[in-house]
Amino acid sequence: MDTTQRTEQQRSADRRRRELLEAADRVVLRDGPQASMNAIAAEAGITKPILYRHFGDKGGLYAALAKRHTDALLDSLRAALDAPAERRERVEATLDTYLAAIEARPQVYRFLMHPAEGGTAAEQGFDVGKHSAPLLRRMGEELAQVIEDRLDLGPESQRLARVWGHGIVGMMHAAGDWWLGERPCSRAELVRSLADLLWGRLAAAGDRIGGPGF
């Protein structure tokens, strides 16, 4: 097989994988944590063994869906952080971007963060912590890099940026999870309250000379 044939086969496999992920997305939007491999295979018009061939098991499918949604969310968060606005406005925009994403697609959020709610995942031995924790760690590391690049935090900048990055992501996740379940206030009110919580040392930190600012 020559290089051209291998490239075409890879493109075809990538295209088929995207189609299967789109089918999985449709089922997750409908069924949330109860989305099953049987339902996803039926939506895609294939048998479950073919679905397993592409993703291995439900964990493999979950990881692929998680990367798909996390990539899109991180792009949106970076855009909010780099928007031409005052720092407080950018902080609020970043918090709002995250909360708007989970509000717009709550079934996807619950599938990614609470897959055992539907029962099927738990029965199959699906470990939510094994799969959801890396998503939060990735978001924490990404935010830490943004903070380190844009703020002058002194000689321990890298360590402090990582503490803040993971802390802010943990706060967003915990507060967003609680808010999505109980809706005790509007999204705008939650954003303002969380921004107030952050608005201590963050507001006093100096911007790096020549940098875009945070």
Q: pLDDT digit string (tens) for 36-52?
A: 889 999 999 999 998 88
How many domains would you assign to the chain?
Answer: 1
Residue pair 62/131 in contact (Cβ under 8 Å)? The answer is yes
Q: Specify if 83 maps to a domain.
A: yes
- Would you state the pLDDT for residue 214? 65
Q: Specify if 36 maps to a domain.
A: no
Q: 213: which residues sit within 8 A by CB, 6+ positions away?
A: 87, 150, 207
Q: Count other Cβ atoms within 10 Å, centred on residue 123.
A: 9
State the pLDDT confidence band at 129, using cuts at 50, 70 and 90. low
- Would you state the pLDDT for residue 125? 44
**For residues 193 and 13, what is the distance between their CA atoms, to the nearest angstrom?**
46
Residue pair 187/99 in contact (Cβ under 8 Å)? The answer is yes
**For residues 27 and 168, what is the distance between their CA atoms, to the nearest angstrom?**
31
**For residues 110 and 89, what is the distance between their CA atoms, to the nearest angstrom?**
28
* 211: pLDDT strictly greater than 80: no
Q: Specify if 17 maps to a domain.
A: no
- Report the CATH number at residue 165: 1.10.357.10
Question: The domain containing residue 135 runs over which residues?
Answer: 63-207
Residue in the structure block whose two tokens are 């720092």: 87
Beta strands in 67-197 (DSSP E): 151-152
Answer with the residue of higher pLDDT: 102 or 130.
Answer: 102
Residue in the structure block whose two tokens are 């809706």: 183
Segment 16-26 mean pLDDT: 91
- Would you state the pLDDT for residue 150? 82
Q: Specify if 46 maps to a domain.
A: no
**For residues 147 and 143, what is the distance between their CA atoms, to the nearest angstrom?**
6
Q: Specify if 7 maps to a domain.
A: no
Q: Specify if 38 maps to a domain.
A: no
Q: How many CA atoms lie within 13 A of 114 on its CB side?
A: 15
State the pLDDT confidence band at 68, using cuts at 50, 70 and 90. confident
Helix (H, G, I), strand (E, B) or coil at 166: helix
**For residues 80 and 103, what is the distance between their CA atoms, to the nearest angstrom?**
17
* 124: pLDDT strictly greater than 70: no
